[in-house]
């Protein structure tokens, strides 16, 4: 049993600033959890508190059900892998991987067996006698992981381990880590500010902002139902379109209107949104819910073309709606979509996955979840 529980954990730094505030989280044994958030939001601080590298100012931290507030890092049996890898340059891969065990007095034969097993798992067998300087970034990353694996910890704490790698290597290592998790079946806490890593790697994402965990959930649940405009915009590129608007109620129908925009609220959301009729709202719609073609249930939206980003697999249309208070929006269209810059093109909105947010609090107005709708 090696669940990790954070029970109202806070970190108040000596300068009076909070690094982390009141984090409440239970990570199950064997779970792969992602901490995602912008720079300075408290991801590393939280990870370092779990590892014992940072003291806890208040709250309780339990590993395997036991409070570890006063347990030294080396006795917590968790392994940390840092972004910088922190390999010893004068030692070979073999020595780097075995050093920690040697310091703990593990016998040479046992160390050797563990190194061989980890090297084989990570594809490092041919490199065991090389020094880190003679390895690629991805190989060094693997050595850092190997050093953690040989310790056989109850949990791996990974602090942006992929951020020094180029895009292609990063994508490969992403998959390697997921496979490794399946094979080792150990708890992994992975810190990143990369949304693709967050969406694809973990069982759950914890989104952090200003030291707080503002949303915790399965990746697609968080994607489909963000709790506020920050999460709505943070989780994808291009982010969710957010359009300041007003909600009108008339004769039982609800309409979201703004300069250049009039969208009828779909039936399934009418009851939930009715109490907000007459109020200012922020209308949220993801770029993939704007389409080039009409279909039953879609609503027309005229957009002035500002730019078209051809990505090969799809074209991102950056457009403007409205004249007096123009708002820029993005739409994910097919790779065949073309239009001259400045042209006005009709798009068709599938409003079923729409969101409304409160402009003052930025919180989502509650509505039943519709998950990810089929186009």
Ligand X SMILES: Nc1ncnc2c1ncn2[C@@H]1O[C@H](COP(=O)(O)OP(=O)(O)OP(=O)(O)O)[C@@H](O)[C@H]1O
202 interface partner picked from Mg ion, ligand X, none, CB below 5 to 8 A per type: none
For residues 89 and 100, is the Cβ–Cβ distance under 8 A? Answer: no
Judged by CB under 6 A, the residue of 5, 33, 34, 43 near ligand X is 43
Distance CA 375, CA 367 (A): 20
Least distance between ligand X and beta carbon 326 (Å):
33
CB nearer to ligand X: pick between 96 and 195: 195
Residue 39 contact, options ligand X, Mg ion, none, Cβ 5-8 Å cut-off depending on partner type: ligand X
Instruction: Pick the stretch among 35-43, 62-70, 180-188, 330-338 that binds ligand X (CB under 6 A).
Output: 35-43
Q: How far is 23 from 212, CA to CA, in rounded Å?
A: 6
- Residue of 10, 44, 141, 315 interacting with ligand X (CB under 6 A): 44
- Rounded to a whole number of angstroms, the minimum distance from the CB of residue 12 to ligand X is 9
- Contact set for Mg ion, span 12-51 (CB under 5 A): 44
Helix (H, G, I), strand (E, B) or coil at 117: helix
Least distance (Å) from ligand X to the CB of residue 21? 10
CB 359 within 8 A of CB 324: no
CB of 47 to ligand X, least distance (A): 8
| Under 8 Å between Cβ of 212 and 21 | yes
Q: Select the residue interacting with ligand X from 62, 116, 130, 193 (CB under 6 A).
A: 193
Residue 344 to residue 304: CA distance in whole angstroms: 4
User: Of 17, 72, 167, 311, which one interacts with ligand X (CB under 6 A)?
Assistant: 17
- The DSSP symbol for 289 reads G
13 binds, among Mg ion, ligand X, none (CB under 5 to 8 A by kind): ligand X
Neighbours of 237 (CB within 10 A): 11
The answer to whether 13 contacts ligand X (rule: CB under 6 A) is yes
Structure tokens at 272: 């939930």
Count of residues that interact with Mg ion, criterion CB under 5 A: 1
Give the whole-angstrom CA distance, residue 151 versus residue 80. Answer: 11
192 binding ligand X? (CB under 6 A): no
Which is nearer to ligand X, 15 or 185 (by Cβ)?
15
Residues in contact with 350: Cβ distance below 8 Å, sequence separation at least 6, in sequence order = 289, 290, 291, 295, 297, 298, 373, 375
- Burial class of residue 163, CB neighbours in 10 A (0-12, 13-18, 19+): middle
* Integer Cα distance of 237 and 348 in angstroms: 20
Give dist(CA 226, CA 234) in Å, integer. 10
- 41: contact with ligand X by CB under 6 A: yes
Judged by beta carbon distances under 5 to 8 A according to partner kind, the member of ligand X, Mg ion, none in contact with residue 15 is ligand X
In the chain, the N- to C-terminal Cα span, in Å, equals 43
- For the bound state, the minimum distance from the C-beta of residue 11 to Mg ion, rounded and expressed in Å, comes to 13
CB of 41 to Mg ion, least distance (A): 9
Q: Which does 260 bind (CB under 5 to 8 A by kind): ligand X, Mg ion, none?
A: none
16 near ligand X, rule: CB under 6 A: no
Strand 261-264, strand 315-321: pairing: unpaired
- Site residues (vs Mg ion, CB under 5 A): 44
- Site residues (vs ligand X, CB under 6 A): 13, 15, 17, 19, 37, 39-45, 193
């Amino acid at each position: 049993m090696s669940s990790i529980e954070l029970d109202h954990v806070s970190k108040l730094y000596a300068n009076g600033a909070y690094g982390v505030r009141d984090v409440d989280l239970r990570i199950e044994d064997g779970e792969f959890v992602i901490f995602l958030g912008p720079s300075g939001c408290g991801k590393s601080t939280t990870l370092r508190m779990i590892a014992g590298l940072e003291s806890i100012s208040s709250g309780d931290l339990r590993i395997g059900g036991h409070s570890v507030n006063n347990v030294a890092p080396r006795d917590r049996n968790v392994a940390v892998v840092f972004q910088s890898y922190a390999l010893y340059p004068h030692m070979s891969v073999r020595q780097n991987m075995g050093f920690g065990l040697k310091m703990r007095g593990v016998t040479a034969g046992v160390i050797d067996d563990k190194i061989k097993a980890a090297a084989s798992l990570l594809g490092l067998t041919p490199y065991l006698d090389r020094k880190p300087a003679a390895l690629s970034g991805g190989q060094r990353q693997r050595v850092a992981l190997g050093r953690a694996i040989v310790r056989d910890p109850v949990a791996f704490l990974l602090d942006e381990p992929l951020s020094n790698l180029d895009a292609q290597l990063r994508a490969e290592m992403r998959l390697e880590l997921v496979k490794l998790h399946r094979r080792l079946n150990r708890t992994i806490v992975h810190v990143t500010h990369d949304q693709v890593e967050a969406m694809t790697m973990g069982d759950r994402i914890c989104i952090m902002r200003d030291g707080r965990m503002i949303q915790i959930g399965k990746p697609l649940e968080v994607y489909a139902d963000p709790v506020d405009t920050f999460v709505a915009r943070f989780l994808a590129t291009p982010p969710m379109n957010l359009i300041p608007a007003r909600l009108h109620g008339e004769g039982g129908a609800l309409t979201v209107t703004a300069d250049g925009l009039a969208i009828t609220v779909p039936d399934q959301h009418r009851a939930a949104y009715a109490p907000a009729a007459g109020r200012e709202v922020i209308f949220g719609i993801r770029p993939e819910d704007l389409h080039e073609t009409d279909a039953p249930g879609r609503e027309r939206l005229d957009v002035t073309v500002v730019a078209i980003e051809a990505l090969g697999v799809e074209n991102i249309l950056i457009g403007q709606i409205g004249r007096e208070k123009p708002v820029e929006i993005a739409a994910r269209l097919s790779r065949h979509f073309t239009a001259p810059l400045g042209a006005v093109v009709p798009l068709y909105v599938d409003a079923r996955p729409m969101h409304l947010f409160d402009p003052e609090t930025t919180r989502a107005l509650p509505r039943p979840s519709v998950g990810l709708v089929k186009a």
